[in-house]
Amino acid sequence: MKPLKFEEAHIELKKPKSMADKDCGSLWVHKTNDGQCISLWTTSFWERLKFLFHGKLWIGILSGQTQPPIWLDCTKTVFIKPEK
């Protein structure tokens, strides 16, 4: 999977200095007023095919002593545009 920069992203989270480029990269996020950081990821054709057949998505998060709350969504966008 590969993180993408998207229109609403306004913060670039840099990789930890202790990690090599091959292990970690920057992550563009949109930070909401309530403290959520939203990122966007894309998958290759083969990753999509694998998910289609087994339906599993693994998530690894480098964190402190507790697991931070997270959520996943497969919609086209999570940003609701106000109606004109």
Whether 78 and 36 have beta carbons less than 8 Å apart is answered as no
Q: What share of the chain is helix, strand, coil (3-state, %, to 5)?
A: 10, 20, 70
pLDDT value of position 67? 63
What does the pLDDT look like over 36-54, one tens digit per residue? Answer: 899 999 999 999 999 999 9
**Amino acid sitting at position 38:** I
Number of neighbours of residue 29 by Cβ within 10 angstroms: 20
Kind and range of the H or E run holding 49: helix 45-54
Q: Is the pTM of the predicted complex or chain greater than 0.85?
A: no
Query: Which residue(s) pair with 28 in the sheet?
Result: 12
